[in-house]
Chain A
Amino acid sequence: MDASTPRSSRTTDDDAPLDPRDALALLEAEHTRTQRQLEPDARLLYGVWGAAWLVGFLVLWTSATGRGPLVLPAPAAGATFALLLGAAVVVTGVHSARRLAGVRGTSSTQGAMYGWAWLLGFGCIGSILVATGGSGASPEVMGVLSSALSGLVVGLLYLAGGAMWQDRAQYSLGVWILVASAAGAVAGYPTNLLVMSLLGGGGFLVAALVVAVRGRSA
């Protein structure tokens, strides 16, 4: 500390005036801290979805191919997949609702509209799959369609979110998920399950890591 920059000692008194340097530091720290508290933690959300995709799709793939150390019968594999994704939905919903609680105005309206986009997108996928299954699509077609459609909606919504909040990490993740879904569809069933697990789930985990590293350096 240079002798020409005298600093008043830090005080706990609420009304004591602050040294300008301390005041600026306080302003900046409080602004950043509050902002972080008011938005969902991307590390947590990407981490949870990455784990759910990585394990969930892998269980489906080992069950479909009979390869790997743990081969579950198809119904058990399907239930495990549904359970993992359901858990990720619950964690996302509860965490986001907590972070947004008590805030009203443009940003909460934006958040709610965006949240509904996910629900509507997956509701639509559900009816498409029921309809195609009912029209006699083969299990192979259903296997390609279900993960490709999910990847399409997830990828596009991350592109939209990245554009709306000017979040490059989120936008990049959206691009990556679209690429992984397209690659999976081209590879066909059941290889697409392995692609979704490793590239899709792995992509989420890399995104979580990138956000974590960037947050620490910021």
Chain B
Amino acid sequence: MTAEEVALPDLDPVIHAPARLRLMAGLAALGDDDRIAFPRLQKLQDLTAGNLGAHLRKLEDAGYVAVEKTHQGRTPATYVSLTRRGRQALEDHTAALRALLEPVTARASRPDDPELR
């Protein structure tokens, strides 16, 4: 059993799935006060509407994203944004991943390459 496998349960399971990790990273690329329309997000993430909706629901349940339903004229529009809590969770998650890699990388890497990316 490796160090990574021992430590994996510490990672936030809501985020630590490829599709939702990508989704969170994509939403974090928006400005702090920005929201993105569902169809644009779907195109950026290359997911089906159903798939994206399901992942968003999980993230919304955890309080990581805000889903806002409005109207543009007569057509309903849905806007998605990362909440403050979501941004924090993603930062914590990134830090946790880096911490997990640190001992492994320190052992594996050359002393002339101490910087972790």
Q: What's the A-B contact tally at a CB cutoff of 8 Å?
A: 107
Chain A residue contacts of B19, Cβ below 8 A: 14-15
DSSP class of B's interface residues: helix, strand, loop or mixed? helix
B residues near A16, Cβ cutoff 8 Å: 17-18
Of A18, A102, A105, A106, most buried by chain B (CB within 10 Å of CB) is: A102
Interface flag for B89 (CB, 8 Å): no
**Residues A18 and B18 in contact, CB atoms below 8 Å apart:** yes
- Chain A 9-43 residues near chain B, CB threshold 8 A: 11, 13-21, 23-24, 26-28, 30-35, 37-38
B104 on the interface (CB 8 Å rule)? yes
User: Which residues 65-112 of A sit at the B interface, judged by CB distance below 8 A?
Assistant: 101-108
Q: Is the CB of A34 within 8 A of B25?
A: yes
Tell me the complex Cα distance, A26–B8, Å: 17
CA gap between A16 and B37 in the complex, in Å: 28
Given contacts A24-B94, A24-B98, A34-B44, contact A18 B16 (CB under 8 A): yes
Q: In the complex the two chains form, is A20's CB within 8 Å of B18's CB?
A: no
Contact B11 A17 (CB under 8 A): yes
The answer to whether residues A17 and B8 also contact, given A4-B107, A102-B40 and a CB cut-off of 8 A, is: yes
Asked whether A139 is an interface residue with its Cβ less than 8 Å from the other chain, the reply is no
Q: Is the CB of B97 within 8 A of A20?
A: yes
Minimum C-beta distance from B107 to chain A (A): 5
B2 within 8 A of A: yes
Cβ–Cβ contact B108 & A103, under 8 A: no
Docked pose: A33 CA to B37 CA in angstroms: 18
Q: How far is the CA of A105 from the CA of B68 in the complex (A)?
A: 13
B residues with a Cβ closer than 8 A to A are 2, 4, 8, 11, 13, 16-19, 21-22, 24-26, 28-37, 39-41, 44, 51, 79, 81, 90, 94, 97-98, 100-101, 104-105, 107-108, 117
Binding site for B on A (CB under 8 A): 2, 4-6, 11, 13-21, 23-24, 26-28, 30-35, 37-38, 101-108
Question: 7 additional contacts, CB 8 Å, given A4-B107, A15-B19, A23-B16?
Answer: A5-B105, A26-B18, A27-B97, A30-B29, A33-B26, A103-B30, A104-B35
